[in-house]
Amino acid sequence: MIICKTKTDLTQALSSINREKLSIGLVPTMGALHLGHASLVEKARKENQIVVVSVFVNPIQFNNAEDLKHYPRTMENDLKILEEKGCDIVFAPSPEEMYPQGEPLESYDFGLLEKVMEGKNRPGHFNGVGVIVGRLFSMVNPNKAYFGEKDFQQVSIIKDLVRQMKHGVEIVPCPIIRESDGLALSSRNALLTKENRKIAPIIYSILKESLSLSQNASLSEVKQFVERRIKKEKYLALEYFEIADEDSMQSIVNWKDAKEQVGCIVVKLGDVRLIDNIRYHKK
């Protein structure tokens, strides 16, 4: 496994790969790797000749300085996991390498996609994601890139980014990997206190209850059910719960307003912001 810390190292590592026209799968991450990330790397390993994983805590996608400061960083362990999973190239640049002083940042317009949920609640977040992923696509020029459906809206943003860049990369959405108690794996779970870690699985159990309820209930009944259930939990603070059209990510009011419906939730538990979602498949 080759570890590249600079763009020059990366270009050099990729030069013979490009000469031989080997297929490249890219997995962008912010490190603190867990089995969710590992599932993306495994899929990339199966589908490509070369696997590139980026490990970079992207400062410009954080709209909260404290969140950035406390974001877990576990490079040594990350490298162990990546070696085990058969990654070929790790790209782990410094912020200065990725964003040289004085170099302007790209500015993307994701239209309505960025006006809701994560886009609305975290100003600048998706532009930051677009800038880093766009730069990674330009540098690595992958055939396929792998993203988790845990960040459901992000997948739509990335697909739109690819359209804007007119890049040929295929975006491969990957299913959410969960702990045995249902909690979606996340680097931020490491920041939960022991007590809050025990509480956190309630989020997914409420989502699952809402899925059962959805079989015979209207969309607004399901929405109210989730909001009420979260509000009943003393330690959970609901940031949003929206049921949206999977394609447009815009909120809908009736099941039939979308071909596929996804319920997206963000809950604060202590200082930790947890994100999750569930699909309803209402015909």
CA atoms of 211 and 283, how far apart (whole Å): 13
b/e burial code for range 251-268 (CB count within 10 A of at least 16 → b) = bbeebeebeebbbbbbbe
CA atoms of 72 and 56, how far apart (whole Å): 11
CA atoms of 135 and 148, how far apart (whole Å): 19
CA atoms of 51 and 43, how far apart (whole Å): 10
CA atoms of 2 and 88, how far apart (whole Å): 6
Asked whether position 82 contacts ligand AMP by CB under 6 A, the answer is no
Whether the CA torsion 117, 120, 125, 126 is positive or negative: it is positive
54 and 118 Cβ atoms separated by less than 8 Å: no
Kindly give, in sequence order, each residue whose CB lies less than 8 Å from that of residue 8, ignoring residues fewer than 6 positions away.
Answer: none
For the beta carbon of residue 75, count every other beta carbon within 10 angstroms: 14
Mark the segment that binds ligand AMP (CB under 6 A) among 92-100, 103-111, 172-180, 234-242. 172-180
Q: How far is the CB of 132 from ligand AMP (least distance, A)?
A: 10
Q: Give the H/E segment covering residue 239.
A: strand 236-245
Q: How far is the CB of 74 from ligand AMP (least distance, A)?
A: 11
Candidate list 82, 116, 161, 174; residue touching ligand AMP; CB under 6 A:
174
Candidate list 37, 122, 223, 229; residue touching ligand AMP; CB under 6 A:
37
Q: How far is the CB of 228 from ligand AMP (least distance, A)?
A: 26
Using CB under 6 A, which residues numbered 12 to 31 contact ligand AMP? 29-30
For the question of residue 37 being annotated catalytic, the response is: yes
Collapsing DSSP to helix, strand or coil, 269 comes out as strand
Amino acid present at 109: D
Candidate list 54, 156, 187, 189; residue touching ligand AMP; CB under 6 A:
187
Q: How far is the CB of 183 from ligand AMP (least distance, A)?
A: 9
Q: How far is the CB of 215 from ligand AMP (least distance, A)?
A: 26
CA atoms of 209 and 229, how far apart (whole Å): 10
Using CB under 6 A, which residues numbered 48 to 67 contact ligand AMP? none
Which residue, 126 or 223, is less far from ligand AMP as judged by CB?
126
CA atoms of 214 and 218, how far apart (whole Å): 7
Which residue, 161 or 174, is less far from ligand AMP as judged by CB?
174
Which residue, 184 or 249, is less far from ligand AMP as judged by CB?
184
The closest alpha carbon to 238, from 106, 107, 117, 123, belongs to 117
Q: How far is the CB of 160 from ligand AMP (least distance, A)?
A: 15
Q: Map residues 136-165 to x or -, x wherever contact with ligand AMP holds by CB under 6 A.
A: -----------xx-xx--------------
Which residues share a beta bridge with 26? 52, 145
Which residue, 186 or 214, is less far from ligand AMP as judged by CB?
186
Which residue, 187 or 214, is less far from ligand AMP as judged by CB?
187
Which residue, 86 or 232, is less far from ligand AMP as judged by CB?
86
Which residues sit at the interface with ligand AMP, rule CB under 6 A? 29-30, 36-37, 39-40, 147-148, 150-151, 174, 176-177, 184-187
Mind telling me the catalytic residues?
Answer: 37
